[in-house]
Structure 1
Amino acid sequence: MTVPGPVGQVPAVRDPAALTEAAIPGVGALALAFAALDEDAALFAAERALREQECRSQARRREFTAGRLAAHLVLTALGRAPEPVLMAGRRPQFPPGVAGSLRHSGLWAVAGAGRFAMVGVDLETAAARCALGPRAVRLFCAPEEQQADVLAVFSAKESVYKALGGRATDGAELPLSRIVCEPAAHGFTAYVTGQLPFPVRALHGADGSVLTATARPHPHPAAPCPPRPAESRCPRRPPTRTTRTPLNAAFEGPAQGVAPCG
């Protein structure tokens, strides 16, 4: 991994496809694996059936195949035998105990996975910058967000979108404009109404590509009340006074000199 660059910039790596993990601040390491779109891979029967059902063009078939190859490789990196990766709604359905995300861009497919509650990864090639004209940027970027690399902002929002399955907490479609990204040393901290902040790791390839990744750990289960006699109950604890803190205090404070997104 590389040393983070200035706030609002993503650190550079010579070859994003050589990465094997992304460190998500406050969460842990997310395993990564890449596969070239021109590679042919043996798929499981269930994956082949899904490909026949969902992929109408040869190009889409190549993307699907490379995505599943990357998924098999990332499962191996986690110490698990490859298994079929199908779909559960909008998310790829990794084996029980593993959350993962798939993305293809340019000549590559990438898979990110780990033992987390949710995972999102995104890869954008330098060519994607050509599609981000001023009108498109205004649709998903607040003015404050446009002070950073807008391709990295777009990719960070895509990672969070994938982690949430494209849905807001009320089940409605989640537009990218409702995902607010604030620059941080590791990339971004993303905010979505009704959710805790998402730390988004961002890496910039020497070729102008951008890779972002986020993850949410499983919540810690509440400690059960110790066994008591039948006539006894768990004592009620007196209410404690809490102090409200900014949402981003869960991960990193706002960078100096950068206006928070609102």
Structure 2
Amino acid sequence: MIEELLPAAVVAVEAHGDEAAVDGALYPEEQAVIARAVEKRRREFTAVRVCARRAMEKLGVPPQPVLPGERGAPRWPAGLVGSMTHCEGYCAAVLVRAGELASLGIDAEPHDRLPEGVLSSVALPTEERRLYDLGRSRPDVHWDRLLFSAKESVYKAWFPLTGKWLDFLEADIEIFTEPAAQGKALSGGFRAELLVPGPLVNGRRLDAFDGRWTVRRGLVATAVTVPHH
């Protein structure tokens, strides 16, 4: 699912349902991070790192620990750029060599309405108006959850480039739909206009991030990629 949203150079490994509850071994450094965590957190932490190490193997990189750094962002091996996500019954890790992309971010969420009161805290008035219009044309899609997921992916791509927090209201996201072929999942793209100074990538100031999304198997998935040029 997630690999369809990303360039061919990106390696993606995901697990669905019971696969996401795999009891993969953790490195001692990783075990120390979740020593006092509840069982659900331990299983998610482990499952997504199993995916990450499988992705490393596909790139020919020796498997190694993935420890949380500042604000919980994963610290990847030198020369790699990556992102991880997990939600109930699903997890994924994506990796690419740093020469291919400057940054990337992925997110997956249950395809369901956001809890009451959340949308107003994460969406700009312009975004809420667009969601209303999207909902009129495709009421079968939970556009509020899709917007939330897109903002999560934007942040995950933003943070490694800046080392700074990006508030939900500091990016204005417009979602685009594509005609769904028979038997194919609904998908599309989105553009996030940054409302604060964007990161410098190879001397160029970015003012927007572009991403893609899909809805399938009871999930919403989003991905953002930041090229070097």
Change (3 A) 1:166 1:23: closer
Letter in 1 for 2:218: G
Aligned position for 1:4: none
- Equivalent of 1:158, from 147, 152, 159? 152
The answer to whether residue 68 in structure 2 is matched with residue 87 in structure 1 is yes
- Equivalent of 1:49, from 13, 16, 32? 32
Aligned position for 2:172: 180
- Equivalent of 1:118, from 86, 96, 103? 103
TM-score, structure 1 as length reference: 0.65
In structure 1, what is the Cα distance between the partners aligned to 2:66 and 2:158? 18
What are the Cα deviations for residues 114-171 of structure 1, in whole angstroms up to 9, with x where unaligned? 1232221100112xx24343x322222233342342221111111011222399x694
Give RMSD over aligned pairs: 2.4
Tell me the SS of whatever aligns to 1:76.
helix
TM-score, structure 2 as length reference: 0.73
Which residues of structure 2 form unaligned runs of 5+?
Answer: 135-142, 179-187, 199-205
Letter in 2 for 1:203: T
Structure with higher strand content: 2
What are the Cα deviations for residues 92-135 of structure 1, in whole angstroms up to 9, with x where unaligned? 01111111111110112111221232221100112xx24343x3
The alignment covers a number of residue pairs equal to 191
In structure 2, what is the Cα distance between the partners aligned to 1:214 and 1:44? 29
Q: Which has the larger radius of gyration?
A: 1
Aligned position for 1:201: 212
Tell me the SS of whatever aligns to 1:164.
helix
Change (3 A) 1:144 1:76: farther
Q: Once the 2 structures are TM-superposed, how far is the Cα of residue 65 of structure 1 from its aligned partner?
A: 0.4
Q: How does 1:209-228 map to 2 (within 5 A)?
A: 209-218=219-228
In structure 2, what is the Cα distance between the partners aligned to 1:113 and 1:100? 4
Which residues of structure 1 form unaligned runs of 5+?
Answer: 1-15, 220-262
Change (3 A) 1:170 1:96: closer
Q: How does 1:8-157 map to 2 (within 5 A)?
A: 16=1, 19-20=2-3, 22-24=5-7, 29-35=9-15, 36-52=19-35, 55-90=36-71, 91-115=73-97, 116-126=101-111, 129-133=112-116, 135-141=117-123, 142-146=127-131, 147-148=133-134, 149-157=143-151
**Contact kept? 2:103, 2:160, Cα under 8 Å:** no
